[in-house]
Amino acid sequence: MKNPNRGKVVVVTGASAGVGRAVVAEFARQGAYIGLIARGRERLEATKREVEELGGKAIVLPADVADAQQVEAAAERVENELGPIDIWVNDAMTTIFAPFLEITPEEFKRATEVTYLGQVYGTMAALKRMHPRNRGSIVQVGSALAYRSIPLQSAYCGAKHAMVGFTDSIRSELIHNRSAVHITAVMLPAMNTPQFSWCRTRLPRHPQPVAPIFQPEVAARAIVWAASHKRREVYVGWPTVEAIYGQEIAPSFADRYLAKNCYDGQQTSQPVSPDRPDNLFEPVPGDYAAHGIFDNRAKSVSVQSAMNLKLMDLTAHRGVAAIAGIALAGLLVAALRKLG
């Protein structure tokens, strides 16, 4: 099908910028009806106009995902105005870039409430409606950092790790109930999004993603694909695969490597501007969209991701794919042992 999501009702949190904005655009191209959740009405209105230009339909739902009642009210409005929710994408996040000892309890709590509890509350609102109907799809937007943490991002890494544990628990409950509702997680690499320009920081220099960097459209294609394919998890980009399996094989080496390289690696050469915006507790104004400031360094295609999705589309040959994957993993382990 050229437009598998035409006419489907989709909710996206974090819809006004970054990966969420790119996901919205991808669904809009397929003719979906989209509920747009984020805090800032101005950017949500701009996102709605973009959806309509691309052939979709959207409603604006200003809400803070850290507030369960606001999320529930947004879900109720979507079903009243657009119809039963088919797909729910939990993408909203915020964070603080800083050494752990320089983060206040209030800052850590806020980053956790948005990035982790926001996904919990979104999943609650979605399942409340999907479970009785016995249909629907929930996509958790995760990260390689959900499996391999890095310094200076303890709040974000902790929230993404929590999301994996929470999602695994819910998945088992759905299986126990023989539910047709599907929940999946899409793990992302470093993305060129506005978060590095507006998330709170105490670093001396401007934050940056750890290279290699990918454009948000790479993530969006995988997230939209995952919404209609029953896969447990989807890994986007070879760096994500390396991080996740590297953590399994050599976690102590990763600890030391990141301790040595990941402080400078997360900062540009430019000092932090004194008038830098800060969205930790309040949305910030400005014409932010899907992309951040690293367009000249970001890749618009992930060969790994494209090949991975095509391979997973070969549902009639899953056994062959599994055998090939096991063989590849065995070769990798053998190579690492030789190096060790």
- Residues labelled catalytic: 156
Which of 2, 48, 9 is closest to 25 using CA atoms? 48
End-to-end CA gap in the chain: 48
Amino acid at 169: S
Q: Which residue from 235, 216, 222 is spatially nearest to 293, judged by alpha carbons?
A: 216
In the block, which residue shows the tokens 């009785």? Answer: 132
**Strand ranges inside the chain, DSSP E:** 9-13, 33-38, 57-62, 87-90, 96-97, 137-143, 182-188, 190-191, 200-201, 205-207, 213-214, 233-235, 267-271, 298-299
CA–CA gap between residue 312 and residue 332 (Å, rounded): 21
Matching residue, tokens 């969006």? 220
